[in-house]
């Protein structure tokens, strides 16, 4: 696994449970942050949720497992899952290798776009990691 | 006031080496230990295919020395201590009177009446006090040696070839030990390990640990953390105290009857003999998850039983583990269902070990 140095892209919104959201119109893509994947270690299993399932901000909606532990993944925003990253079934380590790109987890149709106001920008999130 | 609880974690003599190698250091049994360096999977595979080195200096050591040291250990340890030759090693458990397992340990016979027992870090103080309490009726000195040793495990198919040129004499074979100089450091070299691979364990003065570590890593040993140590031992179906063994379980149900010799009259031998005669309600079995999912310690087995160790196997590329299940369904091939955080996962009971050295890797 080749893991680049820590990074927190400016175009994402961040949740305190180390999840990110890339908001595009009425939809958003979710994933876990560099910090989260680094703390987990190599991800060996991503339990993809069902398309159509409802997710609720601040609530766990799926799990990722590394060799050493299982961790809940929290929804940074509420809505309905419209797509899941099927490629992770075969290559879950993509979450480590490219947590903000190919390692995305789900795409969600947002039920309350105003929830984005409570999320952090990259600088605030990164400052909280210190 | 005192004694006060331990507020700071202990560091091994190799702490600086671990930090420099980029290790993730975590609290473990009162120690700050490397759980991984480059990553558990690649460290695991390095040990299976080449050679890895582990700092296991958190392990404890208890010396038993004196004219009645053999008789004393025969009472405290479940195995037949008379069968350990000088320069030999033996696995055994320490039992309570009711057969509950206090710890599992390897004992080295350094001389006719001098033994060194390697304890689990979390149990060391308990073991020491237990042994010292039992020693009262024997002419033996039971001495805490945990501060005297750093301990390195060099494991993998290339382990012996890597260590041999650093040593001033031939390495002891499996389950034997010998005093050697390794990279210039006086070392007790032991043909033991906890990975299912060939290799040696080195007991040495903490002051020499960094020199020997450097010599091993410069020759290509991969620094390997406690994370891979756990996945390796579980593939090999080696017990972990606190997971698969506890005071609430006896050695027979844990599948450790082979290291219990009741005729020696060890503490707990009556209870162990009764369990062997009558059978136990549950038995520890290894399993492989069919399909996706990873069972973890504490997951219930549906219909009765519990997972005591569970992880992802880098060699089998599946969830594996050990579970206590009803003694009536322990046959290899039997399917069991495990409640993995609300999802039912099917697993198959397998023969041990789950991974054979140089053997099968399931596709």
Q: pLDDT tens-digit profile of B254-282?
A: 999 999 999 999 999 999 999 999 999 99
Look at chain B and count its residues.
363
CB burial of residue B210 (10 Å; 0-12, 13-18, 19+): middle
Ramachandran quadrant class, B282 (left: phi over 0; alpha: psi -120 to 50; beta: rest): beta
Give the model's pLDDT for residue B361: 41
In chain A, which residues have their Cβ closer than 8 Å to the Cβ of B24?
41
Residue pair B215/B53 in contact by the 8 Å Cβ criterion: no
| B42 interfaces chain A, CB cutoff of 8 Å | yes
User: How many Cβ atoms from other residues are within 10 Å of residue B287's Cβ?
Assistant: 27
Q: What is the pLDDT along chain A (130 residues), one digit of tens a residue?
A: 345 578 999 999 999 999 999 999 999 999 999 999 988 888 999 989 999 999 999 999 999 999 878 899 999 999 999 999 999 988 999 999 999 999 999 999 999 999 999 999 999 999 999 7
When scoring B28, B42, B45, B227 by the number of chain A Cβ atoms within 10 A, the one with the most, hence best to mutate, is B227
Q: Which of A60, A67, A71, A88 to mutate to test the interface with B (most CBs of B within 10 A)?
A: A67
Q: Are A105 and A85 in contact (CB under 8 A)?
A: yes
Nearest CA-CA distance, residue A97 and chain B, Å: 13
Measure the CA–CA gap between B40 and A41, rounded to whole angstroms.
Answer: 8
Residue-wise pLDDT for B218-243, tens only, equals 999 999 999 999 999 999 999 999 99
pLDDT of residue B362: 37
- Nearest by CB: A42 against B41, B292, B311: B41
Taking residue B68's Cβ as centre, other Cβ atoms within 10 Å add up to 16
pTM for the whole structure: 0.90
Chain A hits for B319, Cβ within 8 Å: 45
């Amino acid at each position: 696994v080749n893991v680049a140095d820590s990074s927190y892209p400016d175009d994402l919104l961040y949740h305190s449970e180390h999840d990110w959201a890339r908001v595009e119109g009425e939809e958003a893509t979710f994933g876990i942050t560099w910090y989260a994947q680094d703390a987990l270690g190599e991800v060996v299993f991503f339990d993809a949720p069902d398309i159509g399932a409802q997710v609720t901000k601040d609530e766990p909606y799926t799990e990722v497992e590394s060799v050493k532990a299982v961790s809940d993944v929290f929804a940074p925003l509420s809505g309905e899952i419209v797509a899941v990253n099927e490629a992770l079934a075969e290559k879950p380590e993509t979450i480590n290798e490219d947590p903000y790109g190919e390692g995305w987890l789900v795409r969600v149709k947002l039920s309350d776009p105003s929830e984005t106001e409570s999320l952090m920008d990259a600088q605030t999130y990164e400052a909280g990691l210190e | 006031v005192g004694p006060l609880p331990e507020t700071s974690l202990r560091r091994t003599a190799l702490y600086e080496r671990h930090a420099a190698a980029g290790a993730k250091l975590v609290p473990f049994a009162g120690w700050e230990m490397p759980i991984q360096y480059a990553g558990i999977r690649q460290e695991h595979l390095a040990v299976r295919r080449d050679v890895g080195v582990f700092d296991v200096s958190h392990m404890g050591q208890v010396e038993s020395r004196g004219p009645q040291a053999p008789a004393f250990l025969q009472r405290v340890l479940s195995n037949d201590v008379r069968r350990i030759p000088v320069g030999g090693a033996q696995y055994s458990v320490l039992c309570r009177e009711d057969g509950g397992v206090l710890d599992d340990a390897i004992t080295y016979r350094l001389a006719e009446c001098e033994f060194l027992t390697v304890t689990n870090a979390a149990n060391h103080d308990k073991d020491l006090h237990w042994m010292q309490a039992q020693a009262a009726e024997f002419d033996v000195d039971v001495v805490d040696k945990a501060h005297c040793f750093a301990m390195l495990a060099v494991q993998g198919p290339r382990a012996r070839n890597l260590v041999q040129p650093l040593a001033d004499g031939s390495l002891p074979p499996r389950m034997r030990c010998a005093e050697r100089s390794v990279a210039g450091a006086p070392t007790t070299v032991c043909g033991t390990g906890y990975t299912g691979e060939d290799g040696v364990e080195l007991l040495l003065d903490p002051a020499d640990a960094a020199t020997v570590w450097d010599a091993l890593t410069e020759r290509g040993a991969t620094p390997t953390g406690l994370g891979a140590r756990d996945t390796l031992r579980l593939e090999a179906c080696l017990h972990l105290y606190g997971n698969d063994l506890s005071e609430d379980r006896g050695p027979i149900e844990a599948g450790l009857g082979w290291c219990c010799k009741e005729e020696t009259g060890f503490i707990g031998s009556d209870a162990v003999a009764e369990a062997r005669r009558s059978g136990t309600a549950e038995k520890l079995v290894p399993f492989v998850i069919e399909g996706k999912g990873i069972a973890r310690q504490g997951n219930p087995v549906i219909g009765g039983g519990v997972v005591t160790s569970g992880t992802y196997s880098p060699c089998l590329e599946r969830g594996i583990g050990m579970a206590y299940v009803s003694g009536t369904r322990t046959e290899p091939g039997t399917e069991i269902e495990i409640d993995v955080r609300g999802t039912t996962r099917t697993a198959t009971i397998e023969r041990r070990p789950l991974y054979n050295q140089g053997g099968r890797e399931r596709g």
